[in-house]
Amino acid sequence: MTSPTIIPRSDHCISRDNIDENALKVLYRLHRAGYRALLVGGGVRDLLLNHVPKDFDIATDAHPEQVKKLFGNCRLIGRRFRLAHVFYGREIIEVATFRASQDQPDDDRVHDDSGRILRDNVYGDMGDDVWRRDFTINALYYDIADFSVVDYTNAMVDIKQHTLRLIGDPDTRYREDPVRMLRAIRFAAKLDFTIHPDTEQPIYELGALLRDIPPARLYDEILKLFHSGKAVQSFQLLQKYQLLQHLFPQAELALQSNSETFERFLIHSLHSTDKRINDGKPITPAFLYAAMLWKPVQDKTEQYRQAGEPASIAMQNAISDVMSAQVKISSIPRRFSSVVRDIWYLQHRFNYRHGRRARSLLGHTKFRAAYDFMCLRGKAGELDDDSCEWWTNIQSLSSEEQERLLQPARNAPRKRRKSKPKS
Ligand code: ATP
Ligand code: MG
């Protein structure tokens, strides 16, 4: 067994002041009950890199049932991995029991034909658990017993050199869980790390394994990729590693058909998502899906029109085709898919600037999302008029001024009829 490097408190920058107080409570209670209690994963990594951690994961040698006994506010979840969730109001602290190494055969571990782990509840100690983690930088432990950092995989070197490296044989690790390919991209984008050549090389060959991942899990991963404030970088890395085709195949196809405008539109959209996140503004998955599938919907609509369908039916059919193809890959909760549809349906209504139609568009519950979307289309060069400026301007007016602007065209002063030329 490999012995770890122990980095004492004096030699690292992790301070308890930066650890969530509820995570500390869980760590201390486990420790006082005689169990090992360590912070692990993204929390340790982010603190070492002076980032603000998204969440704090805890590892322990207490079995899930033992954790449950210690905490009244605790629920056991998961089948694939059994975990304890400790609740503090709306905050959840995840506590995972150390798992045994993969080579150890056991009835509690189930693989499928391609090597993917389907169920895995074999417990071990920290020296086993570490090899199950994905990247070296995610496999550092912060020990509440003496505030040291425990490093089995030379992770501190990778942290210093900004290198993302899979633990173990990359090919095997990706086959066990293909989502690790997306995690590689997410961490490279989020931390601005370089993916080690051995870790990046198999991605080009194994991307297709993502097709076996259940749509609900891919949906979660897609949101993590695009809603972490680094959507543009994530998108560019997905393109570089040829993975976009496995998440949004219809978007990939549209991009390949030489659509520079669509690519510009996507980059602008993702950039605006990043900006909203960094400004602390709310974001919705509906916007991401609406953007990613916009050109596919337009292309399909055009096909239906050419086959003789009227415009509105053509778009309805196109939306239904594109959405049903996408949900086979990544699910979209219904509350969002209806917003995606609204954003699309409302686009052509920005052409009407007078009367009832324009007024009801301004008052539509999804006006704001549809308007932002339309302006991004304008910015990407898809629209050749001043729609964005016009609809921006009208929102800044008082309701009387708006009314004046929205007066139906027929109330505008009529042009004089030309008198017949005298013969
Ligand atoms: P984030 O900042 O997004 O929370 P994280 O690294 O903490 O990043 P989590 O999904 O919260 O990611 O997982 C916590 C830890 O569990 C990881 O750091 C890693 O050690 C381990 N882990 C998570 N998913 C996998 C996986 N698919 N394969 C192996 N280890 C994993
Ligand atoms: Mg985490």
Kind plus residue range of the DSSP H or E element containing 227: none
Say if residue 158 is in the same domain as residue 246. Answer: no
Q: Tell me if 273 is assigned to some domain.
A: yes
What are the residue numbers of the active site?
55, 57, 134
Provide the domain limits for residue 28.
1-169
Domain boundary among 143, 169, 195: 169
Say if residue 32 is in the same domain as residue 89. Answer: yes
pLDDT digits (tens, 9 = 90+) for 338-384: 999 999 999 999 988 888 888 889 889 999 999 999 999 999 999 97
pLDDT digits (tens, 9 = 90+) for 141-155: 999 999 999 999 999
Residue among 91, 133, 224 to mutate when testing ligand 1 (max atoms within 8 A of CB): 133
Q: Is the CB of 41 under 6 A from ligand 1?
A: yes
Beta-carbon contacts of 360 under 8 Å, excluding residues fewer than 6 positions away, are none
Q: Is the CB of 180 under 6 A from ligand 1?
A: yes
Q: Tell me if 51 is assigned to some domain.
A: yes
What is the rounded average pLDDT of the residues 51-67? 94
Predicted confidence (pLDDT) at residue 410 exceeds the cutoff of 90: no
Alpha carbon distance 341, 335 (integer Å): 11
Q: Tell me if 45 is assigned to some domain.
A: yes
Say if residue 37 is in the same domain as residue 135. Answer: yes
Asked if residues 133 and 164 have their Cβ atoms less than 8 Å apart, the reply is no
Q: Tell me if 231 is assigned to some domain.
A: yes
227 to each of 37, 112, 278, 368, 369, how far by Cα in Å? Answer: 31, 31, 10, 19, 16
Instruction: Find residue 6's DSSP bridge partners.
Output: 150
Report pLDDT for 400: 86
240 to each of 245, 259, 376, 380, how far by Cα in Å? Answer: 11, 17, 24, 22
Say if residue 236 is in the same domain as residue 373. Answer: yes
Q: Tell me if 180 is assigned to some domain.
A: no
CATH number at residue 223: 1.10.3090.10
Say if residue 117 is in the same domain as residue 221. Answer: no
Helix (H, G, I), strand (E, B) or coil at 374: helix
Predicted confidence (pLDDT) at residue 411 exceeds the cutoff of 90: no
Predicted confidence (pLDDT) at residue 106 exceeds the cutoff of 60: no
Say if residue 239 is in the same domain as residue 351. Answer: yes
Domain boundary among 140, 169, 198: 169
Chain centre to alpha carbon of residue 295: 21
What's the 325 CA to ligand 1 centre distance in angstroms? 29
pLDDT digits (tens, 9 = 90+) for 164-184: 999 999 999 999 999 999 999
CATH number at residue 50: 3.30.460.10
Instruction: Find residue 279's DSSP bridge partners.
Output: none
Domain boundary among 110, 142, 169: 169
Report how many domains make up the chain.
2
For the chain, what's the residue count?
423
Say if residue 274 is in the same domain as residue 332. Answer: yes
What's the 42 CA to ligand 2 centre distance in angstroms? 5
Tell me which of 94 and 408 has the higher pLDDT.
Answer: 94
> Residues within 5 Å of ion ligand 2 by Cβ?
41-42, 55, 57
Q: Is the CB of 179 under 6 A from ligand 1?
A: yes
Q: Tell me if 54 is assigned to some domain.
A: yes
